[in-house]
């Protein structure tokens, strides 16, 4: 152990109106280590990070870099000292190209000063290649998919040549191949002497990538351990302060009528083709595949965002045309997109309004909003999903990342649709709430809802689904019953060229 850690955060406290986000938390990072930071949604992880990067100032406590106290740290100063971060909420400039976005993170001076554009492009290309991204440096950021944007942010942070690299849930929307690439690069940075703070709700990643782990709970540091010395169970106990039971409470439900049926359906513009699929009431159908396999595109097609232009779609046995989300909603189809970080909540609206937004019809009578019922419903979902908020009247922007996602999910659950499409439902959600969401999905299926669940987490796919469809290249390439699906079989189909 070195005497002087790279970073020492000591006794940090931070309160926001009525919420004690950090309460005397401490954290230490050495050079050449990957240090995981874990805790439930709202534990204070992002707040700690924002203090270290100079985005906000602590009420109390100090930050030492190489033993030197940093006071009144600004983001510019943090960057100058070699601190770079990938934030939980995307910080990409949508109208700029990938190369320009990367340049913003690494080049000193403004983006518009005289520069060698081809050198910038080349450098961006190398960075993107290094992390295994398969899009061009010229791609406009807003045209990239969510996982691609995440890779772009990673490339930008790595390009900054930081000595202290902070990653707030970098893998939330990445698939296993991308994660593997990312871990390789993180390993190289560590070997080069950088210190890495790694935040993730995917606990299974930690033994692979982290040297040590620190657990935060309610804004306090609960423990710091060497990763090999702690097992998953102990980690969870430290995070939630109690033992957690079965993670996948799969219930056996007799499937009912066919709620949704696709026959040779496809959408030329989004590359989905020849999809034949049946989804029955009470059934959870898992949609597996790699990023880019067309799973989100299929969901968007069913929801009318990119309408089908071939084949047939039937809802409750009747042929339908779904030309817009309004059509889909009218037919009882709801869609919770993966991109909840951006489109999930309306930041300025209170939690209460965010929860009931999708079911507005139900909450307004003769054009007047029934505020009492809105509050009740919001309160119900806040309790069911364990949403950590000062009250249902708090602005959504004040919630932690994971808690915002729970609000977005609650909003669609509150509409009680016949067909519910969930794209990565538990991404970024902590382990306790995850079990709760899985239980809720089981309840909804038992009530007769048909659920189509896209997930990149193999345990979630295998644990929750009655049947599993595997996609590759915009097509369904295999369908398994729950009993016959294994991780190897699913992966093999997803990968096959």
Helix residue spans in 222-324 (DSSP H): 232-240, 295-302
Select the binding partner of residue 123 from ligand ATP, Mg ion, none (C-beta < 5 to 8 A, by kind): none
From the CB of 202, what's the least distance to ligand ATP, in Å?
12
Site string for ligand ATP, 426-465 (x = CB under 6 A): ----x-----------------------------------
CB 445 within 8 A of CB 285: no
Rounded Cα gap, residues 455 and 152, in angstroms: 21
- Residue 9 parent element (H or E): strand 7-16
Residue whose structure tokens are 């913003």: 104
From the CB of 433, what's the least distance to ligand ATP, in Å?
9
Residue list 38-67, contact with Mg ion (CB under 5 A):
45-46
Rounded Cα gap, residues 470 and 286, in angstroms: 8
Select the binding partner of residue 388 from ligand ATP, Mg ion, none (C-beta < 5 to 8 A, by kind): ligand ATP
Please measure the distance between the N-terminal and C-terminal CA atoms of the chain and give it in whole angstroms: 47
What is the dihedral angle through the alpha carbons of 40, 44, 47, 51, rounded to the nearest 10 degrees?
-130
Site string for ligand ATP, 202-221 (x = CB under 6 A): --------------------
Q: Which stretch binds ligand ATP (CB under 6 A): 1-9, 13-21, 69-77, 263-271?
A: 13-21
Select the binding partner of residue 41 from Mg ion, ligand ATP, none (C-beta < 5 to 8 A, by kind): ligand ATP
Q: Which stretch binds ligand ATP (CB under 6 A): 15-23, 295-303, 352-360, 471-479?
A: 15-23
Q: Which stretch binds ligand ATP (CB under 6 A): 104-112, 119-127, 353-361, 398-406?
A: 398-406
Please name which of 80, 91, 232, 102 lies closest in space to residue 170, comparing C-alpha atoms: 91
CB 475 within 8 A of CB 294: yes
Nearer to ligand ATP, 326 or 347 (CB): 347
Residue list 321-380, contact with ligand ATP (CB under 6 A):
none
DSSP per-residue letters across 129-142: HHTT--S-TTSBGG
Dig out the tokens for 177 from the structure.
């191949």
Dig out the tokens for 174 from the structure.
């990445």
Residue list 30-49, contact with ligand ATP (CB under 6 A):
39, 41-47
The answer to whether 401 contacts Mg ion (rule: CB under 5 A) is yes
- For ligand ATP, the nearest residue by Cβ is 402
Cα–Cα–Cα angle for 297, 300, 301, nearest 5°?
Answer: 85
Residue whose structure tokens are 């707030």: 168
From the CB of 442, what's the least distance to Mg ion, in Å?
27
Select the binding partner of residue 457 from ligand ATP, Mg ion, none (C-beta < 5 to 8 A, by kind): none
From the CB of 239, what's the least distance to ligand ATP, in Å?
10
Nearer to ligand ATP, 97 or 404 (CB): 404
The answer to whether 63 contacts ligand ATP (rule: CB under 6 A) is no
Rounded Cα gap, residues 6 and 25, in angstroms: 17
Residue list 77-96, contact with Mg ion (CB under 5 A):
88
Helix residue spans in 344-467 (DSSP H): 351-356, 360-363, 371-384, 401-413, 431-446, 458-464
Q: Which residues of this protein are in contact with ligand ATP, per CB under 6 A?
A: 16-17, 19, 21, 39, 41-47, 88, 388, 398-403, 430
């Amino acid at each position: 152990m070195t005497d002087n850690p790279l970073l020492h955060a000591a006794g940090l406290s931070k309160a926001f109106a009525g919420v004690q986000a950090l309460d005397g938390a401490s954290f230490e990072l050495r050079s050449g280590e990957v240090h995981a930071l874990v805790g439930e949604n709202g534990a204070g992880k992002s707040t700690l990070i924002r203090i270290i990067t100079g985005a906000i100032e602590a009420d109390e406590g100090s930050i030492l870099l190489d033993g030197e106290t940093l006071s009144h740290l600004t983001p510019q100063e943090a960057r100058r000292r070699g601190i770079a971060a990938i934030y939980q909420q995307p910080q990409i400039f949508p109208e700029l190209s990938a190369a320009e976005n990367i340049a913003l993170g690494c080049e000193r001076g403004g983006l518009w000063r005289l520069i060698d554009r081809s050198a910038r492009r080349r450098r961006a290309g190398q960075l993107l290649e290094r992390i295994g991204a398969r899009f061009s440096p010229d791609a406009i950021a807003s045209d990239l998919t969510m996982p691609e944007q995440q890779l772009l942010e990673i490339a930008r942070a790595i390009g900054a040549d930081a000595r202290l690299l902070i990653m707030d849930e970098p893998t939330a929307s990445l698939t296993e191949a991308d994660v593997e690439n990312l871990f390789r690069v993180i390993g190289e940075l560590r070997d080069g002497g950088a210190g890495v703070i790694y935040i993730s709700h995917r606990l299974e990643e930690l033994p692979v990538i982290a040297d040590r782990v620190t657990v935060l709970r309610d804004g306090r540091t609960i423990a710091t351990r060497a990763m090999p010395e702690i097992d998953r169970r102990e980690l969870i106990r430290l995070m939630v302060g109690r033992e957690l039971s079965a993670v996948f409470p799969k219930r056996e439900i007799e499937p009912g009528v066919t709620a949704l049926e696709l026959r040779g359906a496809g959408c030329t513009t989004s590359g989905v083709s020849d999809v034949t699929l049946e989804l029955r009431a009470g059934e959870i159908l898992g949609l597996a595949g790699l990023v880019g396999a067309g799973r989100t595109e299929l969901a968007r097609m069913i929801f009318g965002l990119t309408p089908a232009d071939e084949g047939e779609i039937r809802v409750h046995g009747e042929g339908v045309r779904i030309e817009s989300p309004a059509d889909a909603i009218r037919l009882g189809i709801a869609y919770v997109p993966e991109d909840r970080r951006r489109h999930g909540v309306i930041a300025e609206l209170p939690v209460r309004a965010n929860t009931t937004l999708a079911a507005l019809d139900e909450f307004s009578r003769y054009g007047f909003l029934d505020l009492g019922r809105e509050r009740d419903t919001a309160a119900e979902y806040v309790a069911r999903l364990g949403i950590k908020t000062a009250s249902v009247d708090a602005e959504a922007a004040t919630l932690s990342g994971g808690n915002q996602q729970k609000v977005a999910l609650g909003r669609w659950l509150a509409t009680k649709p016949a067909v519910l499409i969930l794209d990565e439902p538990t991404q970024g959600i902590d382990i306790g709430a995850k079990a709760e969401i899985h239980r809720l999905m089981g309840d909804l299926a038992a009530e007769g809802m048909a659920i189509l669940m896209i997930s990149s987490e193999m345990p979630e796919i295998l644990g929750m689904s009655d049947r599993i469809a595997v996609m590759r290249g915009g097509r369904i390439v295999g369908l398994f019953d729950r009993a016959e699906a294994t991780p190897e079989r699913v992966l093999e189909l997803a990968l096959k060229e």
